[in-house]
C-alpha cells in the first residue's frame, strides 16, 4: 500500500516484498519502493540476461515468496539516435524479446502459485497515440500493449492478471534522456499542466496488485489527461 514516508526521496513508500521487481533503471530508487532487491533484464553491459536464472536468484533471497511481478520497461530512443529504420527495428526486436522472456518466466512461476497474483508492466504512452519523432519507441510500446492483452486472456484461467501502466511525463521513472524534448512537450500538452507524480504511479501499482481478476488486460494511462 502507498503511504507517506520520510525515508523516501519522493515522500511516498510502497512495500513490494512479495513482488519480483524488474528494472534496468537506476532511478527506480527515486520512487521509494521497498523490496528485497531489483532484478535487471539487461546486464550493465547491455547484454540480455537469462531471466530464469535471474528469477531463481531472486526467489532464493525472497522470504515472503513471489505473488506479483512488476516490470519497468525501458523507453527506446528517439529515431534520430539510430542509423535508419533497420537499426531501430533491431532494437525493438531486442527489447521486445527480453521483455517477452521476462514475462515468460514470470508467467510460469506465478501460474503455479495460489492466491492473488498479478503482473504489471510499466511502459510509456508512445504506443497508444504514436509519436512522430520516435517510431521505434511507438512500435515497441505498442508491441508491449498487444502482448499483455493476449496474455491476459490466455492466463485468466490461472487467476493471473496482467496489466500495463502507460506513463506520460514522469522523470523519476526516466523516459530516455534523449527524449527530453519530447518529455518537455508532453508536460506542456498535459491537461493538468504538470508531470505525473510518483505517488500516482505507486497507487496504480497498488491498485492493480490488489484488484484480483477484476482488472486484467488493461492499459492504465498515467498521463495527466494528455490522451483524453
Residue 86 beta carbon to other proteins: minimum distance, rounded to whole angstroms: 5
Nearer to other proteins, 8 or 141 (CB): 141
Residue 177 beta carbon to other proteins: minimum distance, rounded to whole angstroms: 20
103 interacts with other proteins by CB under 8 A: yes
73 in Cβ contact with 26 (< 8 Å):
no
Binding test (CB under 8 A) with other proteins, winner from 69, 70, 128, 220: 128
Nearest in space to 167 (alpha carbons), one of 143, 152, 186: 186
How is the chain classified by DSSP, letter by letter? Answer: -EEE-TTSTTSEEEE-TTEEEEE--GGGGGG-EE-S-EE-SB-TTSPBP-HHHHHHHHHHH-SS---EEEEEPPPPPPGGGSSSHHHHHHHHHHHHHHHHHHHHHHHHHHHTS-S-EEEEEEEETHHHH--TT-HHHHHHHHHHHHHHHHHHHHHGGGTEEEEEEEE-S-TTT---GGGHHHHHHHHHH-TTSSPPPHHHHHHHHHHHHHSGGGS-S-EEEESTTTT-
Binding test (CB under 8 A) with other proteins, winner from 153, 180, 191, 225: 153
34 interacts with other proteins by CB under 8 A: no
Give the binding range for other proteins (CB under 8 A) out of 8-16, 55-63, 86-94, 179-187. Answer: 86-94
Nearer to other proteins, 31 or 110 (CB): 110
Binding test (CB under 8 A) with other proteins, winner from 3, 11, 59, 85: 85
Binding test (CB under 8 A) with other proteins, winner from 149, 206, 211, 227: 149
140 interacts with other proteins by CB under 8 A: yes
Binding test (CB under 8 A) with other proteins, winner from 62, 77, 133, 197: 133
Nearer to other proteins, 1 or 111 (CB): 111
228 interacts with other proteins by CB under 8 A: no
Residue 143 neighbours by CB distance under 10 Å: 18
Task: Give the bridge partners for 114, in sequence order.
Answer: none
Binding test (CB under 8 A) with other proteins, winner from 13, 31, 121, 152: 152
150 interacts with other proteins by CB under 8 A: yes
132 interacts with other proteins by CB under 8 A: yes
User: What is the rounded CA–CA span in Å between residue 49 and residue 41?
Assistant: 5
126 interacts with other proteins by CB under 8 A: yes
Q: Which residues in this chain contact other proteins in the complex, by CB under 8 A? A: 84-86, 89, 92-93, 96-97, 100-101, 103-104, 107-108, 126-135, 138-155, 217
Amino acid at each position: 500500500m502507498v503511504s507517506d514516508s520520510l525515508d523516501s526521496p519522493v515522500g511516498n513508500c510502497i512495500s513490494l516484498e512479495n513482488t519480483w521487481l524488474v528494472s534496468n533503471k537506476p532511478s527506480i530508487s527515486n520512487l521509494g519502493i521497498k523490496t528485497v532487491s531489483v532484478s535487471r533484464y539487461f546486464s550493465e553491459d547491455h547484454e540480455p540476461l537469462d531471466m530464469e536464472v535471474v528469477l531463481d536468484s531472486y526467489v532464493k533471497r525472497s522470504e515472503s515468496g513471489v505473488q506479483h511481478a512488476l516490470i519497468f520497461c525501458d523507453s527506446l530512443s528517439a529515431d534520430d539516435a539510430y542509423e535508419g529504420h533497420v537499426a531501430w527495428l533491431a532494437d525493438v526486436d531486442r527489447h521486445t524479446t527480453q521483455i517477452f522472456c521476462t514475462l515468460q518466466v514470470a508467467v510460469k512461476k506465478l501460474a503455479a502459485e495460489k492466491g492473488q497474483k498479478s503482473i504489471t508492466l510499466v511502459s510509456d504512452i508512445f504506443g497508444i497515440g504514436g509519436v512522430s519523432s520516435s517510431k521505434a519507441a511507438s512500435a515497441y510500446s505498442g508491441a508491449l500493449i498487444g502482448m499483455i492483452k493476449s496474455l491476459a486472456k490466455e492466463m485468466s484461467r490461472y487467476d493471473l492478471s496482467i496489466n500495463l501502466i502507460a506513463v506520460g511525463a514522469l522523470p523519476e521513472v526516466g523516459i530516455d534522456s534523449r527524449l527530453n524534448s519530447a518529455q518537455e512537450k508532453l508536460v506542456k500538452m498535459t491537461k493538468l499542466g504538470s508531470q505525473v507524480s510518483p505517488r500516482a504511479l505507486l497507487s496504480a501499482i497498488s491498485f492493480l496488485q490488489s484488484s484480483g481478476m477484476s482488472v486484467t488486460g488493461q492499459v492504465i494511462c498515467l498521463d495527466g489527461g494528455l490522451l483524453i
